[in-house]
Structure 1
Amino acid sequence: MTRTDPAMTTFVLAGGCYWCLDAAYRALRGVVDVHSCFTGGTVPDPSYEQVCTGRTGHAEAVAVTFDPETLPEQVVLDAFFTMHDPTQLNRQGHDVGTQYRSAMFYADDAQREVFEAARTRAAEWWPGEIVTTIQPLGPVYPAPEAHQDFFAKNPTQGYCLAVAVPKVNRVRAAFAEYLLPN
């Protein structure tokens, strides 16, 4: 994932199933792209099926590209800590495995510092220990096309209704001033 517009910022974040993060970020004004991907592992160009085994080291993640003039980076990160439970180690609800871990992948020292500050803020409102890792961004591999913008393509799918909708609704309630108009 490379930045094509120097005015845009891209964060690569993992917080459970990437379908949920994708759907929640797409609701925010200033987000110009969300791309579901795999990163953080050792297997080059893994398939979805390989990542699902939990043996590749990769996490399901999203590369969120946004305009920081419209959507402050702190809001992007606070939304991240709102849409998933950062106290659950290697899982989100019934999704279990290292591929569902909570992680932030930094592209440079400035991002690392912003991520650390966001994790510290989140610790103030989450009971329990925050297990979100902050690690250098390595190779990023795109998830299959069928997984891109999954919620919009499959709004009545059971997982979307049971898991994604509540997460999207939490973000919509907490960040109403940043929502796209209906």
Structure 2
Amino acid sequence: MKEVYLAGGCFWGVEEYMSRIAGVVDTKVGYANGIKENPSYEEVCTGTTGHTETTYVKYDENIISLEELLNKFWRIIDPTMLNRQGPDIGNQYRTGIYYVDQNDLDIINKTLEEQKTKYDRPIVTEIMSLQSFFNAEEYHQDYLKKNPSGYCHIDLSK
């Protein structure tokens, strides 16, 4: 099993989208790469902790490759928008790919280069190693499974 952490705006939709992909065996949402230990949602929303809403994705590389997974991820974000996805605005909504295995960086960068040919504006998606990840509160976990008519800026049919 492999893992990667993906930030694509509000984590509710990213988690739901990823959980539907064959080969993804686990997801959870949380706050990545900020400066505060165990921040609350309210603290993250102030923009002062530096965290981004992020989805942990554990996947079976015998079923789906990292490249395939990332190509699906790129389809649900606008990588040229800084600190915003859909109507959600703030630094916690920036996009990012955070890796735990340095060997994944070549594949991540390959998909980034492919994305650059699709846009006239620069891509601002962060690509960096995971520095920290704190689970979000329980009510955020599997939010759209618990609340099927809940808010989501992502087209889950992609």
TM-score (norm 2): 0.95
Extract structure 1 runs of 4+ deviating beyond 6 A. Answer: none
Match of 2:41 among 40, 48, 64: 48
- In 1, distance between residues paired with 2:132 and 2:102? 17
Report the Cα offset of residue 113 of structure 1.
Answer: 2.0
Tell me the equivalent position of 1:14: 7
Tell me the equivalent position of 2:61: 68
Tell me the equivalent position of 2:147: 154
* Matching residue's letter, 1:148: Q
List aligned pairs for 1:122-137, cutoff 5 A: 122-137=115-130
Figure out how many residues of one structure are paired with residues of the other and give that number.
Answer: 158
Superposed CA deviations along residues 53-104 of structure 1, whole A, max 9, x for unmatched, are 1110000000100001101111110111111111101110211111000111
TM-score (norm 1): 0.83
* Matching residue's letter, 1:115: I
List aligned pairs for 1:94-113, cutoff 5 A: 94-113=87-106
Unaligned runs of 5+ residues in structure 1 are 1-7, 171-182
Q: Is 2:107 aligned against 1:114?
A: yes
- Percent identity between the two aligned chains: 37
- In 2, distance between residues paired with 1:130 and 1:120? 10
* Matching residue's letter, 1:169: S
3-state SS of the aligned residue for 2:48? coil
3-state SS of the aligned residue for 2:117? helix
* Matching residue's letter, 1:95: D
- In 1, distance between residues paired with 2:110 and 2:103? 11
Unaligned runs of 5+ residues in structure 2 are none
